[in-house]
Amino acid sequence: MKKLGIIGFGWLGNHMAERLSHQYEIFVTTTTQSKAEDLASKGYHATLVDFADDRSEEITGWEVASQLDAIIITVPFSGIRGMQVSMKNRQKNLLKFLGDYKGQLFLMSSTGVYPQAEKEFTEVDLSADRVESESFITHQFPQANILRLAGLMGGTRLLKNYNISNLDQLVNHVHYADICSVVEKMLEKQSQSKVYNVVAPIHPNKEEVICAQKDLPYLGVRTEKGRLISPAKLISELGFEFQYPDPRYFHL
């Protein structure tokens, strides 16, 4: 069985491990001993490591890295909503941890790297080498794939469960199941050096989504203007079909 590493085992990492564990032996990192023991009970191989930016302790290379066919990095390297906050120590520690890894590599980035402007953004608008939270990986690992994830939704993560403002604002969201499917397809294709926006292709406004999730009628009119992130390149190059193309129905 092939071996897959997941660095940063949070909400998304857990969904990925569950999806891929029938194809891969799973190696993960976590920050607490209790969680490492819990992950071990699920059959995952856990390494205890913390990439916190305010830590200066020495981090050594991941002993199993050379055995792994692919590594997925879910540790965040930008601030809230993709704000470009310097995390130099965290970046440096991750690079040490990866060593001279030669296999397939994925960095989970964010559509928050795009400016707050009313237009449709594609990957051409912002290359990885212009984004600090992405370029630190691609400079050392040119084979790395960068996945710019929209707002993570699905399961109990539904817009109706949050205190929301700007209800007429168009959404850029993605269901975790589609993220897992994208990664699975790229693993199969042995994709390298790709940059993709991973976002549902339909962009209702927040009020539409909340009404649908509460089974209420929406009586407004959707604006045609807004900040939109396009998944066209992902759909075209991977031949990808979204299981959840419309955020209004992420709860179904």
Residue 79 pLDDT exceeds 80: no
Average pLDDT (208-234) is 95
Average pLDDT (206-229) is 95
- The Cα–Cα gap between 21 and 4 comes to 9
Instruction: Tell me the per-residue pLDDT of 17-27, one tens digit each, with 9 for 90 and over.
Output: 999 999 999 99
- The Cα–Cα gap between 6 and 65 comes to 11
Average pLDDT (88-110) is 94
User: Which pTM does this prediction carry?
Assistant: 0.94
Residue 181 pLDDT exceeds 90: yes
Average pLDDT (212-236) is 95
> Could you give all domains of the chain from N- to C-terminal order, each with its CATH number?
2-155+175-199 (3.40.50.720)
Sign of the Cα torsion 30, 31, 37, 38 reads negative
Query: What are the strands, taking DSSP E only, across the chain?
Result: 2-7, 24-30, 45-48, 70-73, 104-110, 120-121, 145-149, 151-153, 173-175, 195-198, 228-229
Instruction: Tell me the per-residue pLDDT of 103-129, one tens digit each, with 9 for 90 and over.
Output: 999 999 999 999 999 999 999 999 999
Specify the residue for token string 């990808």.
240
The predicted pLDDT at position 53 comes to 66
Position 205 confidence tier, pLDDT thresholds 50, 70, 90: very high
